[in-house]
Structure 1
């Protein structure tokens, strides 16, 4: 039977063969399709929200998450409310700052200085975009059910959902670009997607956002994260951002 070394040599040869035919750029093509699709979906949602087309469905979902007897009581066990409050803070400004600087510190220890700058610029730029969108659409917070956490800003798009998507998807993509180990790439991106999804759901459960707010926040965050990932890939090819770290022996 062929040794693992021969098998890895075969995989490398196959990868080179595919690269010469441009098939390894399929990931970039899929990213562009996702970018276009997310942009289109955000525009469609925003247009319908401004016309009030989805208001009935937005209210229906929020009511469905509350007790029929008392709209101030969320459905589910008592502990679920505290879990939702804890999870939703992952999309809050304070936690985002802590995670961002923690990641920058990790990259600095690995002497990936250009990637540090790219992370900071990506998340700071995304925060500015989120604020501008909220100001432009100026949608009021839901009034159909009582809020279970304090909120002060405007509603559309969901800032927690958008900033969470911007931060975790951007960090997941950029961190994945710092390694050639496929398992680590999948872990980083999978964890990012899970966090973004849970943060959005908590905003509905707590009654502080409409479903269209959350969906639009996800779309806008995905668009920004994909743009940052494509920029990072382009800069890596030009040598402006550090190359991937080779996978350890036995890595996939």
Structure 2
């Protein structure tokens, strides 16, 4: 019987949250707090300068880089190869498929909605695509939460899954904040990316991940003592 547990309610709410934001933004509307929050990270009277010392600006660029195609791509490759070499080849393929598909969807959504980047501050990082949703926020949520979920399915240990999820969420939040700090995204771009990322990764782990885990030969799992319960 279908049960309304937090594991179900959270991704469903996230999906509806993304849809609501997407429809609102696509209709040409905007939120007043978007402007206020972007300016909150800028020196009063000087929107070209982010708040904080120079090292903080550089650190934010570094954090933002973790959510780039290169950063997330390397994480995906490392996690996929680890699962593959440990004998969980179906899970490795499933993880790669989830991230690749999400990357294509992110590009399509940006083209379809075509929201302009923030124009009230000077960008502190280069941009090449439209603003909504934030690809860094969406793809970091998909990649990191999917990695945590697929590793959890492989290990069958709640403590390992819990640690991976906490680390994933810390990185996801920091990457999203860095995009607003650098002035390259409106806060609602990041929020929408998080919402879609949570919904996507939850679906990927719950259905694709579990299906792939069930397809793993029992003898393959027995060869991976480091990931065995």
TM-score by length of 1: 0.82
How far is the alpha carbon of 1:86 from its aligned partner? 0.2
Residue 71 of structure 1, aligned match among 22, 47, 51: 47
Count, aligned residues: 225
Q: Determine which structure has greater relative contact order: mean sequence separation of CA pairs < 8 Å that are 6+ residues apart, divided by chain length.
A: 2
Q: How does 1:185-224 map to 2 (within 5 A)?
A: 185-224=161-200
Residue 147 of structure 1, aligned match among 114, 117, 123: 123
CA 106–198 in structure 1, closer or farther in 2 if over 3 Å, else same:
same
- 1:240 match: 215
Residue 81 of structure 1, aligned match among 52, 57, 65: 57
- 2:82 match: 106
The answer on whether the counterparts of 1:115 and 1:242 sit within 8 Å (CA) in structure 2 is no
How far is the alpha carbon of 1:67 from its aligned partner? 0.5
TM-score by length of 2: 0.90
How far is the alpha carbon of 1:98 from its aligned partner? 1.1
How far is the alpha carbon of 1:163 from its aligned partner? 0.8
CA 113–236 in structure 1, closer or farther in 2 if over 3 Å, else same:
closer
Equivalent residue of 2:47, what SS? coil
**Which deviates the most, 46-55 or 78-87?**
46-55
1:179 aligns with 2:161: no
Provide structure 1 residue ranges, at least 5 long, that are not aligned to the other structure: 1-21
The answer on whether the counterparts of 1:170 and 1:228 sit within 8 Å (CA) in structure 2 is yes
**Which deviates the most, 53-62 or 217-226?**
53-62
Q: In the aligned structure 1, how far is the partner of 2:217 from the partner of 2:151? A: 11
- 2:14 match: 38
The answer on whether the counterparts of 2:94 and 2:212 sit within 8 Å (CA) in structure 1 is no
Residue 98 of structure 2, aligned match among 117, 122, 143: 122
Equivalent residue of 1:122, what SS? helix
Provide structure 2 residue ranges, at least 5 long, that are not aligned to the other structure: none
Give the CA RMSD over aligned residues: 2.5
